């Protein structure tokens, strides 16, 4: 009797369990959430017939399994009592990687397999959720298995639908997501416009934040895979984690800029910067293992959310007005996230409100943050008005001070003006004295140059003239002998002697006279006189070129010729000191210049070079003076290089100063290089100096080929 009671009890319990696990579709059934009718098991097994399911069913309308490494197996039974044989099974969680439906008939068959790892076009129904066809005739029962594999959190909102009710529901969801997307776009365009208007980085960071938050929500719903990258399933599988990490980074940037954490809370600002690294690690981890990336992203999001709430609350308590909007917006977002999570853990019912609580909170948060940013404009405007008022007050005070100072300054100016008039009169007298002194000094320099020039010319002309005068006397003697010979030969020719005797007598006379040598000597003397005269003419020509009576006229001149004329004048000085002269002239074009003034420059520089060489080498013959010319880039370059004493940096710095000289007293006025510098400057050129003590000096004169007008 007892045994029978126990058997009846077991059968009753089996019936109750069987009745609970079986899903019955009635004629009035449209959309049914079947979470509590599922038998769920985690297993590495791939064959559903080898899996031993227990008899316990799920206790949740929407089972939340968290992160599962193994396959998740689901078993359920459907008994169709309606007239509709075609039913639709919807797994409304697009983030799952692979979902495979098995139908148990006479043998196990696979009804369909959908995967986030395949292109979106491979799906039969163009919706982001997983939808399967169930063909169950009326009054028929079928058993189904579902195998799920996912690298992210597994949540199972599974519905049995009649087609019309499912399409209506999906259309409603699409409309709600469209509204959310519209809000995101409006906030995006509004804040982008404000950014371009005020150039505040807070708006730029917020625009970036809006983009990534919107993409995160749409990725969770599967719309990004459906519409944006349907042919890139690999990215679609990690897109939610990627965009969530990027939205976390942008949220931190918005917080730093919006709450001015660098100023208002420096320690927390440093902490926020470390939070950015967590999201960066999450992004990198997604490329290696999306499961690890998802976990790191969840940890970073939780820490960042709590941290932002704390700091915004602290700053709000301190009286920082923008923190009020920020704390309110972030609190609503957190509240929406809490409702969303409580729904996943079946602490709240799974309905439209709880399903879209996160998106609704996100939309409200965006609006509040936009209001907060707009309020910042008012704060900045008020600060600007205060600053302008302070500036106006300061300007008025400055104006008063300036007026008082002007009265004082006018009095001082009058006093100083009187003093300056007196000083100016004294300076005028002094300036006139200086001008007279300068005129006298320049005249003195010219006389010194003239003396040097006269001495050189006298020496140069004296040699060839002496050569001429020394040849005149012997030439006169030889000419007299020649005239006497002509007379004797003429008298012999007029005598009555025979022709033979005359010829013999003439030959004897010529032999006595040494007539052949006489001709040679006359030619030699004439040649010497010719050479002396030619040399004298050459010196005169060089003097004419050097003097340039038209030196005040700008004209084209051959600078090689000017150098040669200067060297002719300096010939006695150079040869007298046994200096080796090297000339390296190039074929240069004629330059527009004042030739006479340039010749004076050449004379001054060559004179200084000869002095420096003589100072070191004396008459040893080791002195060397090299003069070169070349043309390039529209300029003529004249190099005058010696191996004399050279100059140190102090001398090089003062070489062009008036009255500066390194010569002994009485040897120079110190105006030669100053005049040379001003002359070259007047031509639009410059003088470069390369010199080292004991190694000699090189002066490089640059003269433009075409004269540049230089103001005096």
Q: How far apart are CA 180 and CA 217, in angstroms?
A: 9
User: What angle, rounded to 10 degrees, do the helices at 515-547 and 595-617 form?
Assistant: 110
- Judge whether 216 and 269 are in contact, CB under 8 Å: no
Q: Which residues of the chain fall below pLDDT 50?
A: 1-20, 549-550, 665-666, 711-712
Provide long-range contacts, Cβ within 8 A and 24+ apart, for 402-410: none
Can you give the pLDDT at residue 380?
Answer: 61
For residue 112, list its beta bridge partners.
101
Instruction: Give me the DSSP letters along 603-621.
Output: HHHHHHHHHHHHHHHTTSS
CB atoms within 10 A of CB 253: 19
* Residues found in the chain: 712
- Judge whether 616 and 645 are in contact, CB under 8 Å: yes
Through-space distance between the first and last CA atoms of the chain, rounded to whole angstroms: 139
Contacts of 252 (CB under 8 A, 6+ apart): 272, 273, 275, 276, 279, 304, 308
Tokens representing residue 289 in the block? 């293992």
The conformation of residue 392, written as its DSSP 8-state character, comes to: H
Q: How far apart are CA 531 and CA 471, in angstroms?
A: 11
Largest Cα–Cα distance of the chain, in whole Å?
A: 208
Q: How far apart are CA 565 and CA 543, in angstroms?
A: 7
Q: Which helix (H) or strand (E) holds 119?
A: none
The conformation of residue 82, written as its DSSP 8-state character, comes to: S
Integer angstrom CA distances of residue 340 from 237, 333, 351: 21, 11, 10
- Judge whether 73 and 138 are in contact, CB under 8 Å: no
Can you give the pLDDT at residue 73?
Answer: 92
Q: Which helix (H) or strand (E) holds 353?
A: helix 352-355
The whole model's pTM is what?
Answer: 0.50
- Judge whether 548 and 522 are in contact, CB under 8 Å: no
- Judge whether 156 and 99 are in contact, CB under 8 Å: no
Tokens representing residue 700 in the block? 């490089």
Instruction: Assign residue 251 a region (left: φ > 0; alpha: ψ between -120 and 50; beta: otherwise).
Output: alpha
**Burial (Cβ within 10 Å: 0-12, 13-18, ≥19) of residue 288:** exposed
Q: With b meaning 16 or more CB within 10 Å and e meaning fewer, what string describes 376-415?
A: beeeeeeeeeeeeeeeeeeeeeeeeeeeeeeeeeeeeeee
Can you give the pLDDT at residue 20?
Answer: 46
Query: CA gyration radius for the chain?
Result: 57
pLDDT digits (tens, 9 = 90+) for 603-615: 888 888 888 888 8
Instruction: Give me the DSSP letters along 627-696.
Output: EEEEEETTEEEEEEEE-S----HHHHHHTTSTT---SPTTT--S-HHHHHHHHHHHTT-EEEEEEETTTE
């Amino acid at each position: 009797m007892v045994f029978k009671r126990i058997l009846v009890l077991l059968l009753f319990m089996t019936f109750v369990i069987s009745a609970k696990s079986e899903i019955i579709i009635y004629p009035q059934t449209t959309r049914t959430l079947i979470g509590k009718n599922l038998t769920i098991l985690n297993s590495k097994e791939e064959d559903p017939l080898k899996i031993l399911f227990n008899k316990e069913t799920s206790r949740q309308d929407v089972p939340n399994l968290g992160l599962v490494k193994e396959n998740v197996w689901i078993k359920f039974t459907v008994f169709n009592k309606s007239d509709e044989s075609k039913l639709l099974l919807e797994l409304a969680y697009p983030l799952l990687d692979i979902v495979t439906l098995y139908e148990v008939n006479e043998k196990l068959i696979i009804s369909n397999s959908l995967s986030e790892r395949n292109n979106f076009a491979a799906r039969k129904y163009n919706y982001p959720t997983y939808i399967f066809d169930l063909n169950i005739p009326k009054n028929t029962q079928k058993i189904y298995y579902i195998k799920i594999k996912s690298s992210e959190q597994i949540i199972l909102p599974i519905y049995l639908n009649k087609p019309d009710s499912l399409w209506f529901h999906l259309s409603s969801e699409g409309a709600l997501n469209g509204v959310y997307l519209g809000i995101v776009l409006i906030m995006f365009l509004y804040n982008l416009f404000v950014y371009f208007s005020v150039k505040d980085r807070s708006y730029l960071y917020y625009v970036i934040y809006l983009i990534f938050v919107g993409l995160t929500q749409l990725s969770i719903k599967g719309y990004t895979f459906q519409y944006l990258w349907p042919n890139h399933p690999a990215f679609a599988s990690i897109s939610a984690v990627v965009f969530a990490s990027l939205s976390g980074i942008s949220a931190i940037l918005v917080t730093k800029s919006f709450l001015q954490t660098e100023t208002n809370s420096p320690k927390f600002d440093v902490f926020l910067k470390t939070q950015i690294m967590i999201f960066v690690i999450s992004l990198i981890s997604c490329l290696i293992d999306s499961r690890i990336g998802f976990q790191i992203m969840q940890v970073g999001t939780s820490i960042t959310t709590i941290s932002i709430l704390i700091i915004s609350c602290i700053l709000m308590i301190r009286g920082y007005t923008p923190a009020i909007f920020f704390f309110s917006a972030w609190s609503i977002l957190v509240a929406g996230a809490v409702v969303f999570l409580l729904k996943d853990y079946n602490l709240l019912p799974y309905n439209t409100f709880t399903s879209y609580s996160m998106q609704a909170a996100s939309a409200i948060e965006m609006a509040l943050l936009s209001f907060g940013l707009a309020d910042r404009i008012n704060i900045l405007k008020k600060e600007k008005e205060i600053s302008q008022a302070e500036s106006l007050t300061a300007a008025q005070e400055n104006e008063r001070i300036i007026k008082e100072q002007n009265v004082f300054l006018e009095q001082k100016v009058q006093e100083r003006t009187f003093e300056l008039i007196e000083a100016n009169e004294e300076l005028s007298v002094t300036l006139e004295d200086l001008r007279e002194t300068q005129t006298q000094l320049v005249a003195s320099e010219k006389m010194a140059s003239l003396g040097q020039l006269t001495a050189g010319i006298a020496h140069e002309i004296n040699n060839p003239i002496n050569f001429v005068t020394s040849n005149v006397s012997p030439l006169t003697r030889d000419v007299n002998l020649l005239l006497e010979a002509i007379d004797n030969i003429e008298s012999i020719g007029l005598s009555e002697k025979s022709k033979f005797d005359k010829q013999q007598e003439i030959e004897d006379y010529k032999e006595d006279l040494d007539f052949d040598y006489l001709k040679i000597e006359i030619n030699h003397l004439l040649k010497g006189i010719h050479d002396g005269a030619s040399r004298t003419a050459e010196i005169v020509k060089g003097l004419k070129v050097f003097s340039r009576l038209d030196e005040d006229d700008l004209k084209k001149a051959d600078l090689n010729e000017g150098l040669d004329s200067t060297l002719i004048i300096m010939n006695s000085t150079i040869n007298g000191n046994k200096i080796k002269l090297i000339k390296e002239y190039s074929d240069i074009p004629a330059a527009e210049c004042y030739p006479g003034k340039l010749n004076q420059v050449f004379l001054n520089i060559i004179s200084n070079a000869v002095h420096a060489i003589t100072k070191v080498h004396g008459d040893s013959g080791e002195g060397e003076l090299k003069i070169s010319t070349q043309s390039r880039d529209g300029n003529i370059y004249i190099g005058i290089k010696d191996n004399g004493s050279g100059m140190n940096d102090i001398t090089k710095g003062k070489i062009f100063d008036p009255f500066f000289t390194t010569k002994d007293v009485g040897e120079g006025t110190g105006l030669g290089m100053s005049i040379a510098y001003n002359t070259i400057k007047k031509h639009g050129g410059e003088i470069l100096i390369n010199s080292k003590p004991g190694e000699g000096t090189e002066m490089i004169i640059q003269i433009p080929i075409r004269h540049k007008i230089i103001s005096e």
